């Protein structure tokens, strides 16, 4: 995450001079491996002839087995909250505390938890083996919330999951045909850098909100520091301690700094809870722990219930609400899924140092296809669309550079199906501290944006700030695309706007106006 040194800059210049074809691919791989070795906090490890090293190209990317395992574990711990949170969003323990669909149906929280761990585990392992990138996949928070808040008021849960499956099939087709890759390559490098920075700011903001460090207000400014401008919550203090501990460890380049910080802060949280009995946060206990209370109690192992697997209706929504209304829902799902994942993978690849100079990365097409399959699998298991998680940046910050880290993360997710009480020991405040640290790391990409050129500066700025302010990566990308195309064309630089940028810009205009369009067409 440091600024390129002169040797790296020379390597980048040499790469740009290489003609297209096989030679360019070799130069890209050499550039990526060299950059990784130079960025590392320790000398490049010696070559290994082990199967794992050859298959995952661990040494070639300047990593080690220890870093990959460590990174995979850290990614799991920063993502493990989804095993608890997804069932709370999609399901409940009775019809009274669960989102009910148009027919009064609801999903069991225990069953949603089981398929959440199953799908995340299988898809993350598959992604690691096929795409060989250190990215974790799980149920996307944007789409699952959209399903629970908006979609099920029009269709049943099986019909809603059928729409998710259709969304995934379309995304896979975009990946197979190369359309997704072509759109990715059409995005200017400055916008790709802005997407990375925006994601960094976004995940840091998520960390601040999840920890209670930043709270919404009922009057005055939209958000404020803590409670009425003061830090009065013990869990928030634990977050601050964890943030400082992790920041110190990373600043001192301690191997395993993030993992050590997560474990140490979790132990601190457990001790605090044992002494003070703070309990879970609620309206009656606003100073409690968010989501997870750091306590080990009761049964630690339980058998998962996979009853929701295959519980979807592919075309039922088209019959219930009509083709136009169902198509608009699919359009929303595809745009959110497509560009959230594209932006996330852009940022993660840059953070991992595996991105090429044009912003692409190894096995780009394979990554897009597997990510699309995650949406299909998520709908087919009723756990919602699975996508690449920005939280993977925590494992990358720990040193993960290959798909082996993803395999480790995926196996831990599969294990979480049986150990849900154990995965819930890490409080959200601890995971939030790791997200803030990683967000700071990702901000380093801002150096690639030429803010001296306002035609570049404004679209980049809008991309960066829109993501955290709207809690959506897709919204930030959309605003960036539209402003880039319009400003460059109006300022006489229309030739710098790729034709595909205009196609996507038109799509985003429809996306942002989908509500009025649906109302106008009677959908």
Measure the CA–CA gap between 426 and 210, rounded to whole angstroms.
13
Instruction: Please check whether residue 516 lies inside any domain of the structure.
Output: no
pLDDT digits (tens, 9 = 90+) for 490-523: 988 888 788 888 988 888 898 888 778 777 776 5
Instruction: Please check whether residue 177 lies inside any domain of the structure.
Output: yes
Model pLDDT, residue 45: 54
In 145-237, at which residue ranges do the beta strands (DSSP E only) sit? 214-216, 223-225
Residues linked to residue 225 through DSSP beta bridges, in sequence order: 214
For the chain, the average pLDDT equals 83
Could you give the number of structural domains in the chain?
A: 2
Q: 364 falls in which pLDDT band (50, 70, 90)?
A: very high
Q: CB of 373 within 8 A of CB of 126?
A: yes
**pTM strictly above 0.75:** no
Q: What is the mean pLDDT of residues 14-37?
A: 42
Q: Which range, 39-48, 280-289, 307-316, 327-336, is most confident? A: 307-316
Check whether residue 92 and residue 125 sit in a common domain. Answer: yes
Measure the CA–CA gap between 314 and 505, rounded to whole angstroms.
29
Share of the chain above pLDDT 90, in %: 39
Check whether residue 326 and residue 219 sit in a common domain. Answer: yes
Measure the CA–CA gap between 389 and 434, rounded to whole angstroms.
14
Check whether residue 296 and residue 363 sit in a common domain. Answer: yes
Instruction: Please check whether residue 67 lies inside any domain of the structure.
Output: yes
Parallel, antiparallel, or unpaired for β 223-225 and 386-388?
A: unpaired
Model pLDDT, residue 76: 92
pLDDT digits (tens, 9 = 90+) for 97-137: 788 999 999 999 889 999 999 999 999 999 999 999 999 99
Judged on CB neighbours under 10 Å (0-12, 13-18, 19+), 457 is middle
pLDDT digits (tens, 9 = 90+) for 53-83: 999 999 999 999 999 999 999 999 888 878 8
Share of the chain above pLDDT 70, in %: 86
Q: What is the mean pLDDT of residues 215-227?
A: 70
Check whether residue 158 and residue 287 sit in a common domain. Answer: yes
Instruction: Please check whether residue 503 lies inside any domain of the structure.
Output: no
Q: CB of 330 within 8 A of CB of 317?
A: no
Q: What is the mean pLDDT of residues 453-465?
A: 93
Q: Tokens 């030739």 sit at which residue? A: 495
248 backbone φψ class: left, alpha, beta (φ>0; ψ -120 to 50): alpha
Q: 6 falls in which pLDDT band (50, 70, 90)?
A: very low
Check whether residue 32 and residue 51 sit in a common domain. Answer: no
Is the predicted pLDDT of residue 463 greater than 70, yes or no?
yes
Q: What is the mean pLDDT of residues 214-241?
A: 78
Model pLDDT, residue 272: 92
Q: Tokens 């939030």 sit at which residue? A: 432
In the chain, the largest separation of any two C-alpha atoms, in whole Å, equals: 67
Q: How many CA atoms lie within 13 A of 89 on its CB side?
A: 22
Instruction: Please check whether residue 513 lies inside any domain of the structure.
Output: no
Model pLDDT, residue 44: 54
Neighbour-count burial for 418-447, b at 16+ CB within 10 Å, e otherwise: bbbeebbbbbbbbbbbbbbbbbbbbbbbbe
Structure tokens at 173: 């087709």
Domain boundary among 446, 480, 501: 446
Model pLDDT, residue 38: 39
Instruction: Please check whether residue 502 lies inside any domain of the structure.
Output: no
Domain boundary among 394, 427, 446: 446
Structure tokens at 6: 């002169």
Q: Tokens 């501990």 sit at which residue? A: 245
Check whether residue 227 and residue 320 sit in a common domain. Answer: yes
Is the predicted pLDDT of residue 396 greater than 80, yes or no?
yes
Is the predicted pLDDT of residue 306 greater than 50, yes or no?
yes
Domain boundary among 446, 477, 510: 446
Check whether residue 1 and residue 128 sit in a common domain. Answer: no
Q: 262 falls in which pLDDT band (50, 70, 90)?
A: confident
Cβ neighbours, 10 Å, residue 311: 16
Check whether residue 428 and residue 321 sit in a common domain. Answer: yes
Check whether residue 291 and residue 391 sit in a common domain. Answer: yes
pLDDT digits (tens, 9 = 90+) for 176-187: 998 888 888 888
Check whether residue 393 and residue 428 sit in a common domain. Answer: yes
Model pLDDT, residue 297: 67
pLDDT digits (tens, 9 = 90+) for 308-363: 999 999 999 999 988 877 887 888 788 778 877 888 898 899 889 998 887 789 99
Model pLDDT, residue 94: 73
Q: CB of 501 within 8 A of CB of 484?
A: yes
Q: What is the mean pLDDT of residues 481-493?
A: 91
Q: How many CA atoms lie within 13 A of 100 on its CB side?
A: 9
Model pLDDT, residue 484: 94
Q: Please state the three-class secondary structure of 251-292 as a single string.
A: HCCCCCHHHHHHHHHHHHHHHHHHHHCCCECCCCCCCCECCC
Instruction: Please check whether residue 34 lies inside any domain of the structure.
Output: yes
Q: What is the mean pLDDT of residues 241-254?
A: 90
Check whether residue 214 and residue 276 sit in a common domain. Answer: yes
Which range marks the domain in which residue 34 is found?
A: 1-12+21-39
Instruction: Please check whether residue 489 lies inside any domain of the structure.
Output: no
Check whether residue 35 and residue 128 sit in a common domain. Answer: no
């Amino acid at each position: 995450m440091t600024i390129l040194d002169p040797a790296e800059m020379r390597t980048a210049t040499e790469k740009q001079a290489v003609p297209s074809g096989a030679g360019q691919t070799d130069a890209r791989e050499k550039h990526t491996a060299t950059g990784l070795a130079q960025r590392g906090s320790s000398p490049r490890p010696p070559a290994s002839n082990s199967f794992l090293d050859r298959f995952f190209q661990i040494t070639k990317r300047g990593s080690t087995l220890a870093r990959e395992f460590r990174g995979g574990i850290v990614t799991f711990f920063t993502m493990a909250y989804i095993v608890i949170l997804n069932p709370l969003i999609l399901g409940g323990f009775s019809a009274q505390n669960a989102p009910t669909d148009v027919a009064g149906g609801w999903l069991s929280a225990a069953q949603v938890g089981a398929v959440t761990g199953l799908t995340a585990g299988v898809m993350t392992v598959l992604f690691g083996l096929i795409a060989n990138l250190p990215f974790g996949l799980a149920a996307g928070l944007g789409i699952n919330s959209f399903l629970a808040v908006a979609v099920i008021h029009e269709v049943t849960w099986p019909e809603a999951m059928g729409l998710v499956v259709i969304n995934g099939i379309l995304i896979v087709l975009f990946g197979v045909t190369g359309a997704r890759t072509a759109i990715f390559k059409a995005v200017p490098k400055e916008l790709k850098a802005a997407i990375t920075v925006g994601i960094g700011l976004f995940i840091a903001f998520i960390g601040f909100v999840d920890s209670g460090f930043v709270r919404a207000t009922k009057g005055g400014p939209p958000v404020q520091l803590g409670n009425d401008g003061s830090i009065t919550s013990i869990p928030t203090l634990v977050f601050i301690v964890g943030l400082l501990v992790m920041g110190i460890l990373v600043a001192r380049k301690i191997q395993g700094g993030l993992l050590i910080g997560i474990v140490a802060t979790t132990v601190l949280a457990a001790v605090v809870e044992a002494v003070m009995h703070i309990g879970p946060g609620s309206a009656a206990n606003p100073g409690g722990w968010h989501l997870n209370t750091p306590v080990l109690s009761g049964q630690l192992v339980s058998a998962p219930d996979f009853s929701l697997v295959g519980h979807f209706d592919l075309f039922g929504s088209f019959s219930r609400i009509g083709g136009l209304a169902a198509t608009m829902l699919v359009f929303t799902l595809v745009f959110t899924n497509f560009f959230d994942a594209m932006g996330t993978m852009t940022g993660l690849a840059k953070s991992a140092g595996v991105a090429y100079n044009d912003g692409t990365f190894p096995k780009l097409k394979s990554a897009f296809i597997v990510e699309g399959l995650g949406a299909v699998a998520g709908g087919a298991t009723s756990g919602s669309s699975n996508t690449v998680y920005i939280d993977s940046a925590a494992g990358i910050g720990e040193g993960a550079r290959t798909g082996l880290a993803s395999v480790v993360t995926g196996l831990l997710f599969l294990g979480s199906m049986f150990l849900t009480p154990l995965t819930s020991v890490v409080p959200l405040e601890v995971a939030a501290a790791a997200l803030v640290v990683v967000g700071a790391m990702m901000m380093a990409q801002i150096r690639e944006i030429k803010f001296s050129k306002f035609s570049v500066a404004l679209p980049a700025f809008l991309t960066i700030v829109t993501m955290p302010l709207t809690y959506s990566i897709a919204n930030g990308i959309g605003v960036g695309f539209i402003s880039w195309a319009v400003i460059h064309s109006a300022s006489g630089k229309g030739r710098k706007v790729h034709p595909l940028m205009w196609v996507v810009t038109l799509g985003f205009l429809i996306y942002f106006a989908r509500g009025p369009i649906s109302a106008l067409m009677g959908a």
